[in-house]
Amino acid sequence: MLDTASLETMSQLSCGLSILGFMFIASASRSEKLESVVQWIVVVSSICAAVFLILLWNAGGGMWGSKAMVRPLAVLSILIAIAARLNLKGAQISQGLNPHQLMKENRLNDISESE
């Protein structure tokens, strides 16, 4: 079995890969195929992080000097994996206008008023 230092390192690397995937997802959304690949990378790395964290907790290890932090981080990793597969493309969540939409409507109003 792996020692606690190795498990801690592997869980940190998996979490880091998930974070990089989330940072890259906006750029990847230009291509549906690339976006799907990045989403799956985030899902797999988040699940791996959760598994490593659970193994770390079972081995009696801690994360950043805290043993109590391991289980909540494992649950958070699982939630991130679930959230990574949500496809919200085209859905207006904020229920408000974004700045680009406001500018477009202002331009259309200015054009219609000048005519």
pLDDT in tens, 23-52: 887 777 777 788 888 888 999 999 999 999
* pLDDT recorded at residue 8: 87
Q: pLDDT band at 21, cuts 50/70/90?
A: confident
Read off the pTM.
0.70
- Band (92; pLDDT cuts 50, 70, 90): very low
Q: Say what the pLDDT of residue 48 is.
A: 93
Share of the chain above pLDDT 70, in %: 86
List the one residue out of 38, 14, 13, 37 whose CA is nearest residue 25. Answer: 38
Q: How far apart are CA 68 and CA 62, in angstroms?
A: 7
pLDDT of res. 50: 93
Show Cβ contacts of residue 78 under 8 Å, excluding neighbours closer than 6 positions.
Answer: 46, 47, 50
**Res 94: pLDDT:** 45
For the residues 12-23, what does the mean pLDDT come to? 87
CA distance 5 to 28: 34
